[in-house]
């Protein structure tokens, strides 16, 4: 079984991004019979789609877990929906600021995770993790990434199970070890 886990480079003046710190740490854990590959994605509306499609082609994962950082979140959020739109008041790392732009003109308005999210959340909560389901991945690069993944995998006819998960910033309440443990438990449930 192959698991691809992605995280983002730092953005907005930060020197780290919890999504990449966790993805990188998780990829170093050994699970018998499972290959976990971590890949770094750019915080770029224009480049992230091609980079993501390239790593999907390279790894050919059975499970795709995309991680993003949400500085406002007090819990781990499993995202249900990706919206076919980019909109932001903040620039990406390339300095680009989209204004209500469609990602794929021929695509549906929204795409949904290919996983049963409530049972997944319930298992993680029962194990003591602070996890909730979210109905909006926002309209920044995280949403673009999620939409690109679901759109690409569907158009390729791939059965890859995919989900986007927003993590809080690493902090005293959310140390790297706690975030890593939760994502490892997520992987264990999925495999």
Active-site positions read 79, 142, 166
Per the CB < 8 A criterion, the answer to whether 64 and 160 are in contact is yes
Angle at 5 between CA 120 and CA 180, to 5 degrees: 70
**Rounded to whole angstroms, how far apart are CA atoms 21 and 26?**
9
Per the CB < 8 A criterion, the answer to whether 161 and 64 are in contact is yes
Nearest to 170, CA basis, from 38, 13, 37, 15:
15
Nearest to 140, CA basis, from 170, 101, 179:
101
| Both tokens assigned to 35 | 């290959």
| Both tokens assigned to 55 | 């790593």
**Which residues 6+ apart lie within 8 Å of 13 measured at CB?**
none
Nearest to 149, CA basis, from 132, 164, 136:
164
**Rounded to whole angstroms, how far apart are CA atoms 81 and 79?**
6
């Amino acid at each position: 079984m192959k698991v691809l886990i992605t995280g983002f480079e730092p953005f907005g003046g930060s020197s780290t991004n919890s999504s990449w710190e966790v993805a990188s740490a998780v990829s170093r854990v050994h699970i018998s019979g499972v290959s976990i590959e971590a890949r770094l994605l750019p915080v770029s509306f224009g480049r992230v789609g091609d980079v993501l499609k390239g790593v999907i082609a390279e790894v050919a994962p059975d499970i795709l877990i995309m991680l993003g950082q949400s500085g406002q979140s007090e819990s781990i959020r499993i995202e249900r929906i990706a919206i076919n739109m980019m909109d932001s008041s903040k620039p990406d790392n390339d300095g680009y600021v989209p204004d209500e732009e469609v990602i794929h003109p021929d695509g549906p308005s929204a795409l949904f995770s290919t996983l049963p999210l409530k049972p997944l959340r319930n298992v993680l909560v029962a194990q003591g993790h602070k996890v909730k389901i979210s109905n909006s991945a926002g309209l920044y690069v995280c949403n673009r990434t999620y939409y690109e993944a679901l759109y690409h995998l569907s158009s390729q006819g791939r059965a890859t199970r995919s989900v986007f998960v927003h993590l809080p910033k690493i902090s005293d309440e959310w140390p790297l070890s706690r975030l890593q443990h939760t994502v490892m438990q997520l992987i264990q449930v999925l495999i």
